[in-house]
């Protein structure tokens, strides 16, 4: 049974593709928007969330705000305080905790969500983890974040997902379109990696 599960783990794991928009790349720049789409093993959307975050405009890079389509009126109407964003995203992840882990402290099993996203392992995930750490809240997600470009380009991930056995082009297109990213036939973000 265990070997069957390992060979077919993707059927049982929901992946949460997320994107964290910021008001600049420097660590002190605020996070301004968090969006995520959860997909099951057959790439069906099973949930989504999008939240704008209240932030101190004085800490923002004006160019980053322009790139991220910041609109003062929209943020004034829709943005939530950071603690509310953290709580809502945590509740969203609770619905998709399909990976079992064992606590190093207690030895008891617990579940976490599997996150994925473009450049997420090096930018979005560390910022998301820092956001939760500063708030003193547990981020219910596996620390190993999947990268769609590595899936599309034929690389394997730390979780052992081999994209050559899945419809990897669909995975990037699906996640990107659901998060509002425009892709060409050969993704500009992955182009040099995949040639």
Contact yes or no for 129/138 (Cβ under 8 A): no
Burial profile 43-81: b = 16 or more Cβ within 10 angstroms, e = fewer: eeeeeebebbbebeeeebbeebbeebebeeeebeeebee
Quick one: 142 exposed, middle or buried, by C-beta within 10 A (0-12, 13-18, 19+)? Answer: buried
CA–CA distance, 42 with 14 (Å, rounded to integer): 9
Average pLDDT of the chain? 79
**pLDDT of 86 over the 70 cut:** yes
Which residue, among 17, 13, 23, 15, has the nearest Cα to 35 in the 3D structure? 17
Q: Supply the DSSP string of 70-128, one letter for each residue.
A: --HHHHHHH-B-HHHHHHHHHHHHHTT--EEEE-TTT--EEEEBEEE-TTIIIIIHHHH
Task: Write the pLDDT tens digit of every residue in 142-163.
Answer: 999 998 765 544 443 443 333 3
pLDDT for residue 9: 55
Give percent of the chain above pLDDT 70: 70
Average confidence (pLDDT) over 19-38: 96
Give percent of the chain above pLDDT 90: 65
Task: Write the pLDDT tens digit of every residue in 94-142.
Answer: 999 999 999 999 999 999 999 999 989 999 999 999 999 999 999 999 9
Q: Please give the tally of structural domains in the chain.
A: 1
pLDDT for residue 116: 95
Structural domain harbouring 186: 2-194
The CATH number given to whatever domain includes residue 44 is 3.30.420.10
């Amino acid at each position: 049974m265990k070997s069957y599960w390992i060979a077919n783990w993707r059927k049982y794991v929901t992946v949460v593709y997320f994107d964290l928009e910021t008001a600049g790349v420097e660590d002190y720049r605020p996070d301004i928007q968090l969006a995520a789409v959860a997909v099951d093993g057959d790439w069906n959307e099973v949930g989504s969330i999008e939240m704008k975050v209240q932030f101190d405009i004085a800490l923002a890079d004006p160019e980053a705000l322009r790139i991220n389509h910041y609109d003062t009126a929209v943020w004034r109407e829709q943005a939530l305080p950071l603690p509310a964003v953290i709580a809502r995203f945590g509740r969203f992840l609770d619905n998709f905790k399909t990976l079992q882990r064992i606590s190093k402290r207690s030895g008891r099993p617990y579940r976490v969500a599997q996150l994925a996203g473009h450049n997420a392992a090096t930018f979005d995930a560390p910022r998301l983890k820092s956001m939760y750490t500063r708030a003193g809240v547990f981020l219910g997600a596996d620390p190993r974040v999947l990268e769609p470009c590595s899936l599309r380009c034929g690389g394997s991930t730390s979780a052992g997902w081999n994209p050559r056995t899945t419809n990897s082009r669909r995975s990037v297109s699906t996640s990107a379109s659901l998060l509002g990213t425009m892709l060409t036939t050969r993704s500009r973000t992955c182009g040099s990696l995949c040639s």
